[in-house]
Every structure is written in structure tokens, then in C-alpha cells.
Amino acid sequence: MKLTQGCFSYLPDLTDDQIYKQVQYCLTNGWAVNIEFTDDPHPRNTYWEMWGLPMFDLQDAAGVMMELAECRRVYGDRYIRISGFDSSHGWESVRISFLVNRPKQEAEFELVRQEVNGRATRYTTVRKATQHAAP
């Protein structure tokens, strides 16, 4: 199952050249670019771990690509995403976020239904246990 999170996730995976151009777009807009990784890509998990600090004051995306290569070398078996944070007044939030790395064996999720209070139903997205054991 191909995980779909953030921008471009219904497209084929971005190539390095395409990532470079997206990152350069962020930098041109003055956003701080972050690299984050996780082995728990549950849609409700917003707390991915950061690879180093947010990259402020960069001019060229080559610097980000250098860090991304390093992050892939260490955490190639995890999900890695790049986000662009806009610190300008009125925005102060993440403006773009997209996946740049997936593990070979992708995480699988299923929908669990729970009946409560008569006929009401609660839905939960749960990661399948078989995949969970071996990251």
C-alpha cells in the first residue's frame, strides 16, 4: 500500500531533481526547510523526528540535498519528509510538506469499527500488527 501524505503523494515519487526544484521554490519564498523522519507514519502522528535543525538562511537547495542524502544513508528504511515553514506574520505555519523517502516494505493500515451506544459506530485507523514488529 503506497502511503499518501502531504503534497504530491498521488503522483509518482519525486526524483532528486524534482525535490531540488521544490526545495528551491521554498527557499525562494523565504521558508525554512526541515527534514523529518519516522518509523510510525500513522496519519495522526504529527510528531516526526527532526534531522538536525530547521535550515534557516539557505540560498540554494544543494545544502538541503546534502542533508537529505545523509539522512537517507542513516534512515533509508524509514519515511522521510521535507517541510517548508513560513515564519512571516499571518502565516507562521508549515506551507508545504512532502514525502521524499519510503521504506521498501511500506506500512499497512486497516480500519477498525467499534459499535457503541446502540447503533453508533467509532472508526479507528490501526497499523497492521504484522508489519509493526519489524521496522
Partner 1 sequence: MLDVPNPTTTETAFDLRKEAEAAGITSTLQQLEQELIGLKPVKNRVRQIASLLLVERMRQRAGRASAPPTLHMSFTGNPGTGKTTVALRMAKILHGLGFVRRGQVISVTRDDLVGQYIGHTAPKTKEILKKAMGGVLFIDEAYYLHRPDNERDYGQEAIEILLQVMENQREDLVVILAGYGERMTSFFASNPGFRSRIAHHIEFPDYSEAELLFIAELMLQERGYRLSSPARDALERYIALRRTQPFFSNARSIRNAVDRIRLRQADRLVSDLDRMLDIADLETIDAVDVLASRVFNGGAAADARSAKP
**CA–CA dist 92, 96 (Å, integer):** 12
Confirm or reject binding of residue 115 to partner 1 (CB under 8 A): no
Among the listed residues 1, 11, 50, 62, the single contact to partner 1 using CB under 8 A: 62
Q: Residue 100 or residue 107: which is nearer to partner 1 going by CB?
A: 100
C-alpha cell at 62: 544543494
- CB count within 10 Å of CB 70 equals 13
Find the shortest distance in angstroms from Cβ 43 to partner 1: 31
**CA–CA dist 83, 95 (Å, integer):** 7
Find the shortest distance in angstroms from Cβ 86 to partner 1: 19
Q: Residue 52 or residue 135: which is nearer to partner 1 going by CB?
A: 52
- CB count within 10 Å of CB 77 equals 14
String marking each residue 66-85 x if it binds partner 1 according to CB under 8 A: xx------------------
